[in-house]
């Protein structure tokens, strides 16, 4: 069934009704085309969702449900015909040459993406695709990679990419309009009769987190829009000239992983940036840092609410000590005061890859100890056996609690740490559509905020280096040419 149909010139179309029919549906959203190169669960997979019309048994189009709680409470306009580029037939004053062709091309593009999403990454049509939750999560991740994947500078997002981001994200997130929960309520009829009914309201996690994520999204785009006219600039590695002192900046800006392909920030070689620019950069860095923390908190909250997949539980080691290693086990099992910071300092981690491996081991052992702590033995024939069981249960609870503290401290020390094995497994096996949208949305916003902070820190680091070299040159010049004083006669 064709989700989007363009009316001919002779048909009469009500704008509001057609908008609802085009953008609201109870059709189950399935999946998208895979994007292996763009799949990245690093705190950051490929089209938009599909919507179809409602029809009765006779084939006539039915009106969609009236209730749209999220759109009213969040005050987010649902996707409409105008957002897809279509206009009313009677609006001929705003017609421009080529607008109709552009509208048709955008509609066809959206229809193609919705069709691939509905197939669930199974282009054969055999019904072997992934579930709707994974499809939407992949679509949001791939959309982020398409829009922001080649952004390496502090500059406004191009208008086309910004329009694409807002249009397709609005389509994907609009699924949350119909994720509701029932609660008992009462309704008074015109004759005064009171009826007890079950009313609907947005699900609590969506009602709390979705408006916050949309606000964080707008704030990040506003931060990028602020960098229109700047005192610094960027130089590509293959476009450096002899007159540009940016070759030395390549040695100054040491990025993690030696990402040599990234552009190098440059500032005036005389005195660096002005005090006003430095203050603005510090202000925006702090704002982006707070957005990063907020998005990370939402992402961690959603991941913690997801169920642990059975495949992950089946692969856990039988003994937590074997999984975490002897060195870490001795530290977390000691009866003295446990210090996660001292333990992390003693591990001598040299890269985020080592930190991720330790996080996976600690998290796996934590779940082993939690599972043992929650187990209850059915045989209680001996009092000594009961005492041993209670002692083991308390010990496992302490080990699990300390492992959780160690894992939290590790993630705070490495804020850009990739998703752990458990987090990735939860995302891949999750079947809750609402949690999938919130998790992927918060993850990509977290990645964007982290990148903005890193870009600002690069510019500030180059500025500090230029100021330091400038002061060193002045001191050296004063030593080579000391001031001369005339003797009094």
Q: Are residues 168 and 289 in the same domain?
A: no
Does some domain include residue 89? yes
Report if residue 152 sits inside a domain. yes
**130, 162, 177 — which closes off a domain?**
177
Decide if 380 is inside a domain: yes
Query: Structural domain of residue 36, as residue ranges?
Result: 15-177
Task: Report CA Rg, the chain.
Answer: 29
> In sequence order, what are the residues at sequence separation of 6 or more whose Cβ sits closer than 8 angstroms to the Cβ of residue 145?
35, 38, 40, 45
The tally of domains found in the chain comes to 2
Do 377 and 244 belong together in one domain?
yes
> Which tokens sit at 267?
């500032």
Judge contact between 29 and 134, C-beta under 8 A.
no
Looking at per-residue confidence, does 28 or 256 come out higher?
256
pTM: 0.71
At 3, list the tokens.
């989700």
Cα–Cα dist 150/132, whole Å:
28
Shared domain check, 247 and 127 = no
Residue 489 pLDDT > 50, yes or no? no
Span 354-374, average pLDDT: 88
With a cut of 50, say whether residue 92 has pLDDT above it. Answer: no
Same domain, 173 and 240: no
- If asked whether residues 458 and 314 sit together in one domain, one would say yes
Same domain, 314 and 410: yes
Are residues 49 and 152 both part of a single domain? yes
DSSP string, 14-76: -HHHHHHHHH---PPP------TTT---S-----------EE-TTSPEEPPPS--HHHHHH--
> What whole-number distance in Å separates Cα of residue 444 and Cα of residue 441?
6
C-beta of residue 144 within 8 angstroms of C-beta of residue 448: yes
Asked if residue 43 lies in contact with residue 296, where contact means CB atoms within 8 angstroms, the answer is yes
Q: For residue 471, tell me if it sits in a domain.
A: no
Is there a single domain that holds both residue 270 and residue 406? yes
At 453, is the secondary structure helix, strand, or coil? helix
pLDDT digits over 443-463, tens only? 999 999 999 999 999 999 999
Residue 213: inside a domain, yes or no?
no
Identify whether residues 358 and 454 lie together within a single domain.
yes
Find tokens 């292996």 and name the residue. 36
Sign of the alpha-carbon dihedral angle for 400, 401, 403, 407: positive
pLDDT in tens, 46-83: 333 333 333 444 444 444 443 334 333 434 443 333 33
CATH code for position 433: 1.20.58.1310
Q: Answer whether residue 211 is part of any domain.
A: no
Q: Do 15 and 81 contact (CB within 8 A), yes or no?
A: yes
SS3 205: helix
Residue 76 in any domain: the answer is: yes
Provide the strand spans (E) within 240-397: 264-266
User: For the residues 171-192, what does the mean pLDDT come to?
Assistant: 91
Quick check: is 139 in a domain? yes
- Does 151 lie in the same domain as 82? yes
User: Do 277 and 151 share a structural domain?
Assistant: no
Cβ-based neighbours of 256, under 8 Å, separated by 6 or more: 352, 416
* 39 and 132 both lie in a single domain: yes
Residue 263 C-alpha from the chain's centroid: 24
């Amino acid at each position: 069934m064709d989700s989007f149909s363009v009316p001919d010139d002779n048909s009469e179309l009500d704008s509001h009704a057609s908008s609802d029919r085009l953008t609201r549906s109870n059709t189950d959203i399935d999946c998208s085309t895979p994007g292996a190169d763009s799949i990245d669960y690093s705190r950051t997979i490929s089209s938009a969702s599909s919507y179809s019309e409602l029809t009765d048994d006779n084939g006539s189009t039915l009106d969609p449900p009236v209730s749209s709680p999220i759109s009213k409470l969040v005050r987010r306009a649902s996707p409409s015909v105008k957002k897809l580029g279509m206009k009313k037939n009677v609006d001929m004053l705003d017609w421009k040459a080529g607008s109709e062709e552009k509208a048709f091309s955008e509609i066809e593009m959206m229809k193609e993406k919705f069709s691939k999403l509905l197939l669930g990454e199974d282009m054969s049509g055999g019904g072997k695709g992934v579930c709707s939750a994974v499809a939407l999560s992949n679509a949001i991740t791939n959309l982020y990679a398409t829009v922001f994947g080649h952004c390496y500078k502090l500059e406004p997002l191009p208008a086309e990419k910004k329009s694409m981001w807002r249009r397709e994200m609005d389509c994907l997130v609009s699924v949350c309009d119909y994720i509701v929960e029932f609660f008992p309520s009462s309704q008074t009829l015109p004759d005064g009769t009171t009826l007890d009914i079950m009313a609907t309201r947005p699900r609590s996690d969506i009602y709390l987190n979705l408006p916050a994520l949309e606000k964080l999204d707008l704030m990040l785009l506003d931060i990028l829009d602020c960098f229109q006219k700047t005192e610094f600039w960027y130089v590509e590695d293959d476009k450096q000239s002899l007159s540009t002192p940016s070759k030395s900046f390549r040695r100054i800006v040491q990025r993690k992983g030696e990402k040599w392909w990234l552009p190098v920030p440059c500032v005036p070689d005389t005195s660096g940036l002005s005090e006003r620019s430095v203050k603005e950069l510090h202000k925006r860095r702090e704002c982006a840092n707070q957005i990063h923390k907020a998005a990370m908190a939402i992402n961690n909250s959603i991941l913690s609410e997801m169920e642990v997949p059975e495949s992950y539980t089946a692969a856990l080691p039988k003994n937590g000590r074997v999984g975490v290693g002897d060195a870490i086990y001795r530290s977390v099992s000691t009866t003295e005061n446990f210090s996660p910071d001292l333990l992390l300092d003693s591990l001598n981690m040299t890269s985020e890859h080592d930190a991720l491996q330790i996080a996976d081991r600690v998290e796996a052992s934590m779940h082993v100890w939690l599972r043992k702590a929650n187990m209850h033995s059915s045989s209680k024939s001996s009092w000594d056996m009961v005492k041993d069981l209670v002692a083991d249960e308390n010990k496992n609870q302490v080990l699990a609690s300390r492992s959780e503290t160690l894992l939290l401290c590790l993630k705070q020390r490495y804020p850009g740490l990739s998703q752990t094995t458990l987090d990735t497994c939860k995302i891949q096996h999750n079947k809750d559509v609402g949690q999938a949208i919130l998790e992927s949305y918060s993850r990509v916003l977290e990645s964007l905020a982290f990148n903005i902070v890193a870009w600002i820190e690069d510019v500030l680091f180059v500025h500090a280096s230029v100021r330091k070299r400038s002061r060193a040159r002045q001191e050296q010049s004063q030593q080579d040419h000391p001031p001369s004083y005339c003797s009094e006669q």
